[in-house]
Structure 1
Amino acid sequence: MGTTDGDGKKQEMLNLLTSTQIVIHDALNKLGYNEEMYHLLAEPIRTFCVRIPVRMDDGSTKVFSGFRSQHNDAVGPTMGGVRFHPQINADEIKALSMWMSLKCGIADLPFGGGKGGIICNPRTMSFGELERLSRGYVRSISQIVGSVKDIPAPDMYTNSQIMAWMLDEYSSLRQNDSPGFITGKPLVLGGSEGREKAGAKGVTICIEEAAKKRGIQLKGARVIIQGFGNAGGYIAKFLHDSGAIIVGISDVYGAVYHPDGLDINYLLDRRDSFGTVTTLFEGAITNQELLERDCDILVPAAVSNQITAENAGSIKARIVVEAANGPTTLEATKILTERGILLVPDVLAGAGGVTVSYFEWVQNNQGYYWTEEEIAVKLRERLVKSFNDVYDLAESRNISMRLAAYMVGVRKMAEASLLRGWV
């Protein structure tokens, strides 16, 4: 396994899979594991590529490519979302399944990481086409998923309705299996209170804890959120309700910034189903310009590789909390850490969704359901502990929060693999 040679441009070109492997390698080295353990964990144990024929509304048949990756099941079944997106590929799905393993380890969940996806553009597909695609995907992976094998969940451009279609299709194929086969379901089909907002709630908890560590009062703190979709919108709402001032938001078309704060309730009322809202405003700026505007807390909640070696030196926030997957490159992580900016990595900040998916799975298995208040308390307790585990390790070892998070995340998985005799 090669490491970076200090050339920033080379580092910036690394894809998500390679950059994930680099940090896992560093984390295992810090924990004292040998190269054999790295070679076991550097790739998923299984990655499936499937082809899904779908009858379109115009009568034609279109064949879609899909994936399901299972990183490591030494601790327990794998778990992770299914995303619909036109630009995903096998390497991205592999990397995301590895991140799910890390999130499960950080939150101390009895799972390994899984991830799935279909190359499609849901914006251009009808309701019926999405249903047929969802059912076709489940038929193609039904042999390798299940409540004690691999548990799917919502992800980018998938929601509780798509999970309901997938559950129904799976139930017709595997009639004796538990509704815990899939999470993120509607409540009436065995879903959990709090699941829809869990990802954003987890990010918000990490923001609150990071602010405490930096002596920042959340009430009155100026926050920029890049991305105003499901996660970004809920994060904005939670922080606004806590007294924070949201000074900037963005969507795929641009960004809006106002130093005195934005009317978040107005924006939430007017955004469309894909989180688009900036087209309502004149004088919008670019997403990249927004990242460099003045604020206390910056929350990248859009896409990967937004903070790079080129702009990391211009970030004015004191805290950066990654709500998106991989928004900060490894070279930028180094720059931000050296500048004293507290960077809360995606594998920690993004653990809320999988944690409540775990709660849903537990409730399905025991046939007893918790209230939204009970879910909120359990989520906060688990994520506050996870945050402090990572923060304390970073401080004691004088390393970045990202490396500390990977060390916490990989430790349980490596130990379980060792005890099983896999290495």
Structure 2
Amino acid sequence: MSDPISNELSFSQNVNYLVDRAIAAMDLEEDTAAAIKACASTIKVTFPVKIRNKIEMFTGWRSVHSTHRLPAKGGIRYAPYVNQDEVEALAALMSYKCALMDIPFGGSKGALLIDPGKYTRDEMQMITRRFTVELVRKGFLSPSTNVPAPDVGTGQREMAWMADTYKHLFPEDINYQACVTGKPVQHGGIRGRTEATGRGVQYAIQEFFRHPADVKQARLTPGLAGKRIVVQGFGNVGFHAARLLSSEDDAKIIAVIKSEGVLVDENGLDIQALHDHLIEHKTMKGFPHARFHEDGVKALEMECDILIPAALESQITCDNADRIQAKLIVEAANGPLTYEADKVLSDKGITIIPDIYANAGGVTVSYFEWIRNLSHIRFGRMQRRHEEMRSHEFAQLLEDLTGQIISDEIRKRVIRGAAEEDLVNSGLDDTMRLGYQQLSEILHRHDKIHDLRTAGYVIAIDKISRTYLDIGVY
């Protein structure tokens, strides 16, 4: 595929151009490349729901990009702007993301064309349950073949409704809880899933700063502490990424961008306080010790060390890419940069940690939740107390050998066994570390690869192509 001559590319075209760039770097056979890029199937459903004594029609989509691994995995978003092209592009990104991170899923995505703010909770439940029935009947929702998760406009409650609907349709399926992930903990969810994508962004940045050559190439100084960060989007991903980076890594969140505008504080925003303010007042306006400006998009161009786009796709385009001043861009959203913007920023020497790696925390912990649902036991249940007992014995042995008494505070920390959330975060940290190490290694080893995004796609495409060849898909 040649370079685009128009700036108005669709989301799926942007993804395909990025894939083609990686394929050119790895000299993949043309027929193999075509098989990998093709979207396996997409279903469009239209169904009626009676709302306030009136029949309303709703349209939804579910796309499966690849089934080289099963189940196919990907979120379902509820928004008034979604379309089939967007769903297919997101499904493709899920395939490459899972392959890169060694998560044994194919790629899928879904969407419902709806403005959730216009409906009550009970109405949303009726709509969600009916949508679920349509997906199940068409074979696009199952613990073994297609497993949705939350996305923009959806959350734990929608996943709980979907799981319960599936359970009533298949009461004999003991693995029904595994038909979706991102559920409430009391309904088969896993601790740590809510903040998983944001925490994954934090772990990705931490691992980046463990690679001095990459930090130097980005013209950054060593260490995450004190780094000035701008975050676009303050939903689940943006909030948790900002909160964790500021509270655990001592970074400074100098600006938060939302659709209503941007809040700026050069000394660093109190992220938890801002979150509480938004819940109470439904607006960023009036937050103390910070400046509010209505032009939030312009704030993407602020001078900063790290820019984290955590909102929607195509936020940085050829129109504003040349004015971006961040040294490092971390794509917490899917596709926040267009193909042309990516080229402009790369030519400027700005380092970009790509979405197929940076926001993989959600699907990683979704994988843990899916495994938990299939095993029917929470992580750590069988070994936690045994680990505590052994640690207690080692602490006692240390006291006997040294003649020193370990304080109660230290003893509690030393002998504490790992809870489920500890194990989830440990597994997520390990996955994000290994993922970045793959990216950095191939970037510095391969003469034809000059950026982390191309490195990520090369790794993912190579893994998928080997799977296709091994099992004889074509």
2:202 alignment partner AA: T
Q: Which ranges in structure 2 are unaligned for 5 or more consecutive residues?
A: 216-220, 380-419
CA shift at 1:342, angstroms?
Answer: 1.3
Q: Which residue of 2 aligns with 1:377?
A: 426
2:250 aligns with one of 219, 223, 243: 243
Counterparts of 1:124-143 in structure 2, within 5 Å, are 124-143=118-137
Report the CA distance shift for 1:420/1:228 in structure 2 as closer, same or farther (over 3 A). same
Partners of 1:43 and 1:94 within 8 A in 2: no
Q: In 2, Cα distance between the equivalents of 1:18 and 1:283?
A: 36
Q: Note the C-alpha offset of 1:86.
A: 0.5
Which amino acid is 1:293 matched to?
A: M
Q: What is aligned with 2:228?
A: 222
1:391 to 440, 450, 466: 440
1:66 and 1:119 in contact (8 A); partners too: yes
Task: Classify the secondary structure of the residue corresponding to 1:84.
Answer: strand
Partner SS, residue 302 of structure 2: coil
- TM-score of the superposed pair, with normalisation by structure 1: 0.94
**Which amino acid counterpart does residue 263 of structure 1 have in structure 2?**
D
2:273 to 237, 257, 266: 266
1:334 paired residue number: 343
Aligned residue runs from structure 1 range 236-385, under 5 A? 236-241=242-247, 242-272=249-279, 277-280=283-286, 283-370=292-379, 371-385=420-434
The AA in structure 2 aligned to 1:342 is T
Identity of aligned residues (%): 33
Q: Is the 8 A contact 1:228 1:276 kept in 2?
A: no
Aligned to 1:157: 153
In the alignment, the residues of structure 2 paired with residue 47 and residue 92 of structure 1 have an alpha-carbon distance, to the nearest angstrom, of: 12
1:406 aligned onto 2:449? no
Aligned to 1:21: 16
Q: Is 2:191 aligned against 1:193? A: yes
Using a 3 Å threshold, how does the CA distance of structure 1 residues 67 and 258 change in structure 2: closer, same or farther?
Answer: same
Question: Structure 1, residues 381-413: CA drift from partner, whole Å, max 9, x if none?
Answer: 011100111122123224221111111122222
Alpha-carbon shift at residue 130 of structure 1 (Å): 0.7
Q: Is the 8 A contact 1:225 1:298 kept in 2?
A: yes
Cα distance, 1:291 vs structure 2: 1.0
Shift of 1:279: 3.0
5+ residue gaps, structure 1, are: none
Alpha-carbon displacement from aligned partner over 1:99-139 (angstroms, at most 9, x marks no partner): 01111011101111011110000011110111011101110
Letter in 1 for 2:57: V
| Other structure's SS at 2:53 match | coil
Q: Which amino acid aligns with 1:389?
A: Q
Matches within 5 A, 1:30-109: 30-56=25-51, 58-109=52-103
Q: CA deviation at 1:378?
A: 0.6
Tell me the CA shift for residue 277 of structure 1: 3.4
Which amino acid letter does the alignment assign opposite residue 109 of structure 1? I
How far apart, CA to CA, are the structure 1 residues paired with 2:163 and 2:292?
45
Q: Which amino acid aligns with 1:422?
A: V
**Structure 1 stretch displaced more, 388-397 or 206-215:** 206-215
Give, in whole Å, the separation in 2 of the partners of 1:280 and 1:122: 26
Task: Provide the C-alpha distance between the structure 2 equivalents of 1:403 and 1:175, rounded to a whole number of angstroms.
Answer: 45
SS in structure 2 at match of 1:307: coil
The 1-side partners of 2:339 and 2:35 are apart by 22
Q: Take 1:240 and 1:406, find their aligned partners in 2: how far apart are those partners? A: 30
TM-score of the superposed pair, with normalisation by structure 2: 0.84
2:144 aligned residue (148, 167, 176): 148
User: Which amino acid in the other structure matches residue 378 of structure 1?
Assistant: G
CA distance in 2 between partners of 1:123 and 1:76 (Å): 34
Provide the secondary structure at the position in 2 that maps to 1:55: strand
Is 1:420 the counterpart of 2:463 in the alignment?
A: no
The answer to whether the Cα contact below 8 Å between 2:277 and 2:284 also exists between their aligned partners in 1 is: no
Deviations 1:276-296 (A, max 9, x none): 533335641412221111211
Distance 2:327 2:445 in 1: 21
RMSD between aligned residues: 1.7
Question: Could you tell me how far apart the structure 1 residues matched to 2:282 and 2:256 are?
Answer: 10
> Per-residue deviation at 1:44?
1.5
- Could you tell me which residue of structure 1 aligns to residue 108 of structure 2? 114
Question: 1:228-253, CA deviations, whole angstroms, 9 ceiling, x for partnerless residues?
Answer: 11111111110111211110001111
Q: CA separation of 1:211/1:287 partners in 2, compared to 1, >3 Å: closer, same or farther? A: farther
C-alpha separation between the residues in 1 aligned to 2:438 and 2:11?
Answer: 25
1:141 & 1:264 partners in 2: Cα distance? 38
Once residues 230 and 394 of structure 1 are traced to their aligned partners in structure 2, the CA distance between those partners, rounded to angstroms, is 31
Query: Would you say how many aligned residue pairs link Structure 1 and Structure 2?
Result: 416
Larger-Rg structure: 2
Is the contact between residue 206 and residue 383 of structure 1 (CA under 8 Å) also seen in structure 2?
yes
Contact 1:211 1:319 (C-alpha < 8 Å) held by counterparts: no
Match of 2:162 in 1: 166
Q: Is the 8 A contact 2:285 2:292 kept in 1?
A: no
SS of equivalent residue, structure 1 residue 414: helix
The one-letter code of the counterpart of 1:51 is: T
CA 1:216 to 1:125, structure 2 compared with 1: closer, same or farther past 3 Å? farther
- What is the CA–CA distance in structure 1 between the aligned matches of 2:344 and 2:207, rounded to whole Å? 22
Distance of aligned partners of 1:387 and 1:276 in 2 relative to their CA distance in 1, 3 Å threshold: farther
Between the aligned partners of 1:81 and 1:363, the Cα distance in structure 2 is 19
Q: Which amino acid aligns with 1:346?
A: D
Aligned residues of 2:262 and 2:292 also touching (Cα < 8 A): no
Counterpart contact for 1:81–1:155, Cα < 8 Å: yes
- The alpha carbon displacement at 1:189 in A equals 1.4
